[in-house]
A and B are shown apart, each in its own frame.
Chain A
């Protein structure tokens, strides 16, 4: 009897998980489906779900009208650059917080995270002015710096959690073995934290890839990444849903594929330190 209850519950849980999963995935699925419709089918009422004449026309139009490759490259540069730069700064920061904590370490960590609670638009004006002054507007470099700063608290926080799991005695052993601080971080800490660093890298790459507020506000043509590529298809003259969907699908495809292959790492990264 007990077994039957457990089995029923299992089925129920699985069904619930699938329902929630599909609910979350539905907007993406709908976007992908719409990208294969004609503009007329895309706005048909009632909406057409699967049975329509599939077409690749939108993709070819989008490819003709915009330089997808350039947007893609900008996205890769900005997301990759900001993540790597962030890691270079965050590894020593998290090291010091995890292994040489002071009385204020916890406060500093919380304060860093609290900057994420600030509405981005609140600092848009000063940052915009700074960018004009420094000539960073519509440059990949400028955007890389901003996105790195935006995500830095999360990178530091995640790495801190990972580093805390590494026994301090191992680092002390390295010190006794004659390792300098640089050797200790390079040869002992970093290789031991590789899984943690990999998940941090992945998550931040995704966050930077999807970031739209700063990328839309601080770029025009040259440094615009894929978020701007999508936005360019929502024009004031009227919405072309099918083309917009095609552009969106093309923008999210790389990150979706990357996420699919690295989901194990990502889940580990997000739940790390939660169960202990």
Chain B
């Protein structure tokens, strides 16, 4: 079981309110990702759940029990840190065994669990090494191993992949997702990388300045962002936001259109502009088009092989059903 409820949870450091009172419900077995820019309070929120920070007000319930005042050790949660936080003086085996040793689990059971965790995480050959002798990816696996040996109500991940190189990150992302499917345990994952959020989450919580901007499945957030912030944050490359006359035509303060929902032509279209920088990814090309009123530059996703050059004049046509409208406050108009 791993149902976590936050009720009017608030965090302030002195007079500075980092997280204004918020409510959040995380269901058993869900993979929830907290995403937002640096300093948005996502890590603080995770640390509040972990018990590493005290709440200023409000309640945190784990499986229906009030855990607000409980120390981290008594909450039955496991955590993987950004810096891995392995014990450098212990071997991999002892690192993984540490939570079980603290729980005074019988040695036989400990050995069994270490063996199975090591097998699952490809660490069997490294059990007698120290963390200093391992690569970044291996260290991260040890940190995960240490988290999974104890049967926790939920796993908390604090930006666990940000210290890894890009290729390794993609691999570990898949491994964590697979682990979630296998263990079927609640996982809360903090990241600033919206690609990680989109690919891993059952439910994404978008945060800005300590406030939850939207909660929903990745596709819900992609299809119907509740406001301009979520619209700009979810999706890569980010959504184009147009103000002024173009928006007024749609009875809105601002309209948004994703780069993948704009078609490009050399002869005709709604908007005319000039090709600026083109980013060739092989499969796709991201074109930055200048001269579109209300949004400069405007990003368009084109196919891998487009025959336009820097300085060419092009016509763009947005797909009308994919235009998002926002009011003066930046909120979505249904």
Contact = CB atoms under 8 A, between A and B. Distances in A.
A172 B81 contact: yes
Contact of B81 (A173, A178, A183): A173
Contact of B73 (A170, A176, A191): A176
A176 B89 contact: no
A177 B88 contact: no
Contact of A180 (B52, B73, B77, B86): B73
Contacts of A174: 87, 98
Interface in A155-174: 167, 169-170, 172-174
Contact of A167 (B71, B77, B83, B98): B83
Contacts of A191: 89
B232 interface: no
Contacts of B87: 170, 173-174, 188, 192
Interface string B66-98: 000001110001110111011111000000001
Nearest to B156: A176
State the majority secondary structure of interface residues on B.
loop
Q: Select the residue from A173, A187, A194 with max chain B CB neighbours within 10 A.
A: A173
User: Size band of the B side of the interface?
Assistant: 20 to 34
B89 A192 contact: yes
Contact of A169 (B71, B77, B78, B81): B81
B150 A178 contact: yes
Interface in A44-60: none
Interface string B275-304: 000000000000000000000000000000
B102 A172 contact: no
B85 A183 contact: no
B99 A178 contact: yes
Interface string B125-159: 00000000000000000000010001000000000
A175 interface: yes
B79 A173 contact: yes
Interface of A: 167, 169-170, 172-180, 183, 187-188, 191-192, 194
